[in-house]
Amino acid sequence: GCMLNGKLYPFGHIERTEDCLQCYCSKGVMDCCSLFQPPVGYDKENCKVVFNKKRCNYDVVQKDDPSKECIFYSLV
C-alpha cells in the first residue's frame, strides 16, 4: 500500500482520503488530486469561505452570521 499523512491506503484507486483527495496508489508512487475547488465571484466584503471537510467542499457564508449562506457564481 501507500502511506499518506500517516495513514496506509491499499494499492489501486482511492475514491476519497481523509484529506479530501482522490488518489491512485501503485508500488512506490501515490498520485493524488483534490476533490474540491475554491469558490469565486462572491461578496468578499460581507462573506467568507469556510472549508467543509465532511463534504469536501467550501461553504460561502455571511461574516456576520455564518449560519446564512452567500451566493457565489463559480468554482476555480
pLDDT for 75 beyond 80: no
CATH number, position 48: 2.20.25.590
Task: Domain of residue 61: give its range.
Answer: 39-75
Total domains in the fold of the chain: 2
Phi-psi region of 6 (alpha: psi -120 to 50; beta: other; left: phi over 0): left
> What is the amino acid identity at position 12?
G
Same domain, yes or no: 12 and 28: yes
Taking the C-alpha atoms of residue 15 and residue 34, their distance in angstroms, rounded to an integer, is 11
Question: 22-60 pLDDT, tens per residue?
Answer: 999 998 799 999 988 888 889 999 999 999 888 898 899
pLDDT for position 74: 65
Do the Cβ atoms of 42 and 72 come closer than 8 Å? Answer: yes
Same domain, yes or no: 47 and 62: yes
Q: Which three cell numbers stand for residue 73?
A: 457564481
> What is the amino acid identity at position 49?
V
